[in-house]
Structures are given as C-alpha cells and as structure tokens.
Structure 1
Amino acid sequence: MSHEIVSPLPGLFYRKPGPGKDNFVEVGDAVEAGQTIGLIEIMKQFTEVRSEVAGTVAEFRIDDNGMVNPGDVVAVIE
C-alpha cells in the first residue's frame, strides 16, 4: 500500500539539509514514521517534511529546489 506525503505549505522543496550535504533520503531507502525526508522554505523559514508512515521511498514527485503548493504530493512511501 502506498502513502503520499503532501506539502503542508507553499515554498521551495529541498531534499538536502544544506548546500554540499547529502540528501535526507534517496528513492529505495527505508524510512521510519516521523523521519525527515526534506525541507520546505518560505521566506527564509524552514519546515521539515516528515514521513507519517514507515516504509520505502518509492518516488519523489517534486524535484530538489522545486516549487510546491499546499496539498502537492512531495513523495510516495510504499
């Protein structure tokens, strides 16, 4: 069963905690419930995007540095 992780707010989606850092997770990685998979920045404020379920990252639907709107699907966890 798949679970969609949706953006809670508008902004820029980042898969890394900062420039030169590794991505929080990659497609195929196992994640735990509550684990951070990315960040959304709006006006220099950063909000963590977390998986609500344990599973495997099946895909990202928003590119790194991509714009998101509230309700947009960021990633899918299987």
Structure 2
Amino acid sequence: MTVTAPMVGTFYEAPSPGAEPFVKVGDRVSADSVLCILEVMKLMNNVEAGVEGVVSEILVENNQAVEFGQPLVVITRDS
C-alpha cells in the first residue's frame, strides 16, 4: 500500500530538527503509527500509516515540498 499526501505541504521525517525519524525502511508500523509530518501554512499535520505492515520504501526527502496525492511511503502489508 502506498500512503499519499493528504494535502499540499512540506514533508518532515522527524518531529524536530536533529530528532530520529518517525519511521525508517524496515520498521513495523500499526494503523495509527505516525509516518511523517506535513507542514501547511505553519500548521503541523501528522500523517498516519492507516494499515499494519512494514515500511518498504520512503519516496520523498526530508524538507521536500509535496503535492496533494503524491506518494510518500510504501508499506508492505502482512499476509
């Protein structure tokens, strides 16, 4: 499953500069796991996984501008 950007904004992989990323490739996530933050007009919005599985790919770079619907993270669902 590919998690896409629910809005236009700036992608942040961690809660603050210098902090560990929310997730890395290979991490197991649950449906409510926070994958990243999207900043929109100075408001920080958590993006959650929505499914259980393993992060298999992160498709954007930290501090990158993203468009609505742009793929952000690929999660391989458990069989």
The answer to whether the superposition gives a TM-score over 0.5 is yes
Give the structure-1-normalised TM-score: 0.94
Q: How does 1:49-64 map to 2 (within 5 A)?
A: 49-64=47-62
The Cα shift of 1:22 comes to 0.5
Aligned match of 1:72 in 60, 70, 73?
70
The Cα shift of 1:62 comes to 1.1
Which stretches of structure 1, 4 residues or more, deviate above 6 A after TM superposition? none
Letter in 1 for 2:11: F
Q: Tell me the C-alpha RMSD between the 2 structures.
A: 0.6
Give me the whole-angstrom Cα distance separating, in 2, the residues matched to 1:25 and 1:60.
9
2:37 is the alignment partner of 1:26:
no
Give me the whole-angstrom Cα distance separating, in 1, the residues matched to 2:62 and 2:47.
13
Q: Percent identity?
A: 36
Give the structure-2-normalised TM-score: 0.93
Q: Deviations over 1:35-70 (max 9, x none)?
A: 101000011101101101000000011111111111
2:3 is the alignment partner of 1:5:
yes
Q: Structure 1, unaligned stretches of length 5 or more?
A: none
Equivalent position of 1:42 in the other structure: 40
Count matched residues: 76
Letter in 1 for 2:20: D
Equivalent position of 2:14 in the other structure: 16
Q: Structure 2, unaligned stretches of length 5 or more?
A: none
